[in-house]
């Protein structure tokens, strides 16, 4: 456009070249930092919650009180009182809450086929918390057959630890299921005998489980007659790595499988790093905006006489604004697009690398990242527009 | 577009004006569209000040100046810009060319300031020829003599549509011959637009057939 070509000779934007490039570079780096922070945040969330990365086992946590030296020998201190149970169950991160009922009787198991005899213990949880679906998982008073669920870890311990060391053959899960060890329960005075039947193997709850109905019956019959408060509870949570859960457990001195919640430590670290990176990006963005504004002020005040004359001759101030913004906008628009392309390339690369390790993140940048790019560009535009308008008004 | 002055008194000249009669200051004056108006004034009586008031780039006066029935104060920046592109053109006494542009670019700036230029680019050369400044068109305005600058400023003012042309001692640095040529061009352009002008000068002159003459 002819008019703008002449304007270019009148309004020398060259006076603040170094400032201008500082502002552009600052803006570019600031945008990279902010976009990377947002993208990492998005990716981490996807790793934790995305359906492709779902770790089924992590949803259930067995929680007990941490046993300290003071508590030793005082089992009443390790139980969950009804108030504590109610409070725990009411927490927003707890989707389901169940008490683990401990047996109040002794258990002895004999597997004659193996020449194997051991003391044992039983616990029971509400059926909904069990990951073993089996028709055999029921017991009614009078039944001789007692279904038992053992943790899969026990099978491994038996096969790879105990059996090898004692010259006992290793067993497959199917063959273990066919065993019918004798189960003797007693309270010292009375005793009852049952045929045990391994109904399944649980990944979820590391204890030896019997049906709740059997536990209730046996506790009433062989126990001390008083219902005991649970010392372990099982909860279902949406996100075992949530910070709220971690804080709640710490506050109440509860303990759980740290393997399952170790993510919250990593997550805490990642969130801190991401926040710090985002914070520096924000600070840098502010400085870039400041330098931009200084550049505009410098350019306008260095040719305020010319601008005044242009307006005197009939140039609309709006047109001067548009011209000045037109000199700036394309450059930082390109800066923004380059920042987004760099982040997209990094994301694509990271997605490939993570996929090799069985972790899945989207190969393209998240919505938040794109929205942030547009948001930052809009912010820069508005700040520049306001500065240009103010400066031109001040000099005409 | 009628231009009306109502009891206009420049604040810096207030005391001097009270002592001396004037046809313009502190009077009701209306410049009718299409009039060729001469304002004769000795030095120091506020000639340039008046032109700046009429073109609305100075505001230190009491009273009201209306353009098209509306006081200057009520015009927005955008409306003023439109008026200066379409309705009122000006030749300043100090000319006000851009030194960083060539003579031709100074004129071209005014021509293309309006999105729909009144004249094609060739008109610049045509007018320059009439006023004898073709040879300086490519030179930086900073290197021109005052007379050349004056003629460039006149051509610049004629590049746009207008109803009024304000001129502040436009021929002060031109010899008789060049003044006659410039006056002829100005008269011709004003008549082509059915436009009037307001010209200030120190003395009487016969360059135009003035319809009204005021003593400032």
The more confidently predicted of residues B113 and A135 is B113
- Cβ atoms of A207 and A217 within 8 Å: the answer is no
The structural domains of chain B, with segments of one domain joined by +, span 36-47+75-215
CA angle (B97 as vertex; B96, B99 as ends), nearest 5: 125
Per residue in B100-154, pLDDT tens?
Answer: 999 999 999 999 998 889 999 999 999 999 999 999 999 999 999 999 999 999 9
**Mean pLDDT, rounded, for A87-104:** 85
Integer Cα distance of A361 and A43 in angstroms: 6
Per-residue confidence (pLDDT) for residue A57, from 0 to 100: 45
Structure tokens at A309: 């004359």
Name the β-bridge partners of A233.
A63, A99
Rounded average pLDDT over A135-155: 84
What confidence tens digit (pLDDT) does each residue in A162-214 have?
A: 888 877 778 888 888 887 888 888 887 888 888 888 888 887 777 888 888 88
> What are the residue ranges of helices labelled H in A252-366?
258-302, 304-312, 317-356
Q: Which residues contact A220 (CB under 8 A, 6 or more apart)?
A: none
- Select from A9, A311, A313 the Cβ nearest to the Cβ of B100: A9
Q: Is A286 on the interface with B (CB under 8 A)?
A: no
- Identify which of B82, B98, B112 has the shortest CB distance to residue A306: B98
- Touching B: A residues 240-279, CB under 8 Å: none
| Partner residue opposite A312 with nearest CB, options B57, B82, B83 | B57
pLDDT at residue A250 tops 50:
yes
Q: Which of A1, A12, A316, A317 to mutate to test the interface with B (most CBs of B within 10 A)?
A: A316
Alpha-carbon gap: A391 to the closest alpha carbon of chain B (Å): 14
Determine the residue among B113, B114, B155 to mutate to test chain A binding: the one whose Cβ has the most chain A Cβ atoms within 10 Å: B113
Secondary structure class of A99 (helix, strand, coil): strand
Percent of chain A whose pLDDT exceeds 90: 10
Q: Which helix (H) or strand (E) holds A146?
A: strand A145-151
The per-residue pLDDT for A144 is 86
Q: Which residues of A touch B166 (CB under 8 A)?
A: none
Strand partners, B201: B40
ipTM for the predicted complex: 0.93
* B109 contacts chain A (CB < 8 A): yes
**Closest Cβ–Cβ partner in B85, B101, B160 for A6:** B101
Inter-chain touch B105–A6, beta carbons under 8 Å: yes
Q: Choosing among A8, A307, A313, which should be mutated to test the B contact, i.e. which has the most B CBs within 10 A? A: A313
Contacts of B110 in chain A (CB under 8 A): 313-314
CB A100 within 8 A of CB A127: no
Task: Please state, for a pLDDT cut of 90, what percent of chain B lies above it.
Answer: 82
Chain A residues in contact with B83 (beta carbon < 8 A): 314
Which of B48, B59, B77 to mutate against chain A (most A CBs within 10 Å)? Answer: B77
Contact B113, B162 (CB under 8 A): no
Q: What is the mean pLDDT of residues A143-148?
A: 87
> In this model, does residue A239 exceed pLDDT 80?
no
Stretch A312-332: mean pLDDT, rounded? 89
Distance CA A243, CA A246 (A): 5
B59 touches chain A (CB under 8 A): no
Beta bridge partners, B4, equal: B30, B66
How far apart, in whole angstroms, are the C-alpha atoms of residue A355 and residue A332? 34
Q: Name the residue of chain A whose CA is nearest to B107's CA.
A: A6
pLDDT for residue B27 is more than 50: yes
Q: Point out the residue among A313, A318, A396 whose CB comes nearest to the CB of B113.
A: A313
Give the closest-approach CA distance of A13 to chain B in angstroms. 14
Residue pLDDT, tens place only, A49-81: 666 665 544 577 888 888 788 777 777 778 888
Reported residue count of chain A is 396
Which residue in the set A10, A309, A316 is minimally distant from B96, CB to CB? A309
Written as six digits, the tokens of B72 are 């200057």
CATH of domain B36-47+75-215: 3.40.50.300
The secondary element (H helix, E strand) that includes residue A88 is: helix A82-89
Shortest distance, CA A10 to any CA of chain B (angstroms): 7
Structure confidence at residue A84 as a pLDDT band (50, 70, 90):
confident
The pLDDT, as a whole number, for residue B146 is 94
What is the pLDDT confidence band of residue A261, given thresholds at 50, 70 and 90?
low
Per the model's pLDDT, the better-predicted residue between A61 and B185 turns out to be B185
Whole-number pLDDT of residue A188: 77
CB contact under 8 A, A3 and B98: no
CA–CA separation, A211 vs B149, rounded Å?
A: 107
Q: In angstroms, what CA-CA distances link A168 with A113, A115, A126, A161, A183?
A: 11, 9, 35, 10, 21
Q: Which two tokens mark A169?
A: 């053959």
Q: Which chain B residue is nearest to residue A312, measuring alpha carbons? A: B57
Backbone angles phi, psi at A369, to 5 degrees: -65, -45
How many Å lie between the alpha carbon of B177 and the closest alpha carbon of chain A? 28
Q: Pick the range with the lowest mean pLDDT from A91-100, A225-234, A362-371, B22-31.
A: A225-234
Say if the Cβ atoms of B101 and A9 lie within 8 Å. Answer: yes
Chain B residues touching residue A309 (CB < 8 angstroms):
96, 98
What chain B residue is nearest to A393 in terms of C-alpha separation? B77
The answer to whether A318 contacts chain B (CB < 8 Å) is yes
**Is any Cβ of chain B less than 8 angstroms from the Cβ of A9?**
yes
Q: Which of B78, B101, B109 sits opposite A316 (nearest CB)?
A: B78
Q: Please name the residues between 136 and 165 in chain B that touch chain A, using a CB distance below 8 Å.
A: 160
A311 and B112: CB-CB below 8 Å?
no
| Cβ of residue A396 closer than 8 Å to a chain B Cβ | yes
B113 touching chain A per CB within 8 A: yes
Percentages helix, strand, coil for chain A (3-state, rounded to 5) are 60, 15, 25
- Coil, strand or helix at A131: coil
Say if the Cβ atoms of A311 and B101 lie within 8 Å. Answer: no
- The number of angstroms, rounded, from the C-alpha of A344 to the middle of its chain's C-alpha atoms is 23
């Amino acid at each position: 456009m002819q008019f703008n070509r002449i304007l270019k000779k009148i309004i020398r934007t060259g006076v603040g070249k170094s400032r201008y490039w500082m502002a552009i570079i600052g803006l570019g780096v600031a945008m990279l930092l902010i976009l990377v922070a947002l993208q990492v945040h998005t990716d981490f969330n996807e790793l934790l919650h995305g359906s492709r990365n779902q770790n089924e086992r992590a949803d259930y946590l067995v929680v007990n009180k941490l046993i300290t030296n003071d508590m030793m020998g005082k089992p009443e201190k390790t139980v969950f009182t009804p108030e504590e149970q109610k409070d725990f169950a009411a927490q927003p991160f707890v989707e389901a809450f169940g008490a683990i009922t401990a047996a109040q009787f002794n258990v002895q198991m004999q597997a004659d086929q193996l020449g194997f005899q051991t003391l044992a213990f039983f616990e029971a949880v509400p059926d909904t918390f069990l990951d073993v679906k089996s028709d055999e998982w029921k017991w009614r008073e009078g039944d001789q057959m007692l279904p038992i669920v053992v943790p899969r870890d026990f099978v491994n311990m038996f096969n790879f630890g105990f059996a090898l060391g004692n010259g006992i053959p290793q067993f497959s899960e199917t063959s273990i299921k066919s065993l019918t060890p004798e189960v003797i329960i007693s309270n010292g005075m009375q005793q009852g005998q049952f045929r045990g039947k391994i109904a399944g193997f649980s990944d979820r709850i590391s204890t030896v489980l019997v049906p709740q109905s059997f536990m209730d019956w046996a506790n009433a019959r062989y126990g001390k007659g008083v219902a005991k408060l649970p010392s372990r509870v099982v909860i279902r949570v949406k996100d075992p790595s949530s910070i709220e859960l971690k804080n709640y457990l710490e506050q109440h001195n509860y303990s759980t499988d740290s393997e399952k919640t170790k993510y919250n430590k990593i997550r805490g670290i990642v969130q801190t790093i991401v926040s710090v990176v985002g914070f520096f990006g924000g600070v840098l963005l502010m400085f870039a905006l400041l330098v931009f504004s200084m550049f505009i002020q410098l350019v306008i005040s260095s040719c305020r006489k010319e601008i005044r004359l242009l307006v005197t001759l009939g140039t609309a101030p709006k047109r001067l604004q548009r011209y000045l913004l037109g000199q700036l906008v394309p450059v930082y628009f390109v800066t923004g697009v380059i920042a987004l392309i760099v982040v997209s390339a990094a994301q694509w690369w990271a997605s490939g690398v993570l996929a090799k390790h069985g972790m899945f993140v989207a190969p393209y940048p998240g919505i938040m990242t794109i929205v942030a790019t547009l948001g930052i560009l809009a912010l820069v535009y508005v700040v520049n527009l306001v500065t240009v308008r103010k400066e031109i008004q001040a000099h005409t | 577009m009628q231009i009306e002055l109502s009891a206009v008194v420049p604040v810096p000249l207030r005391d001097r004006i009270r002592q001396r009669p004037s046809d313009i200051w502190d009077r009701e004056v209306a410049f009718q569209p299409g009039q060729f108006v001469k304002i004769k004034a000795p030095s120091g009586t506020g000639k340039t000040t008046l032109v700046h008031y009429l073109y609305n780039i100075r505001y230190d006066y009491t009273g009201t100046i209306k353009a098209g029935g509306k006081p200057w104060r009520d015009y927005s920046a955008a409306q003023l810009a439109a008026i200066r592109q379409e309705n009122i053109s000006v030749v300043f006494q100090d000319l006000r060319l851009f030194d960083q542009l060539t003579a031709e670019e100074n004129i071209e700036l005014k021509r293309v300031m309006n999105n729909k230029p009144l004249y094609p680019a060739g008109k610049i050369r045509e007018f320059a020829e009439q006023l004898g400044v073709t040879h300086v068109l490519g030179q930086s305005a900073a290197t021109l003599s005052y007379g050349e600058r004056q003629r460039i400023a006149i051509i610049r003012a004629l590049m746009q549509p207008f109803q009024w042309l304000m001129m502040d001692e436009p021929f002060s640095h031109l010899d008789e011959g060049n003044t006659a040529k410039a006056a002829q061009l100005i008269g011709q352009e004003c008549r082509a637009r059915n436009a009037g002008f307001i010209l200030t000068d120190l003395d009487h002159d016969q360059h135009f057939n003035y319809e009204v003459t005021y003593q400032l």
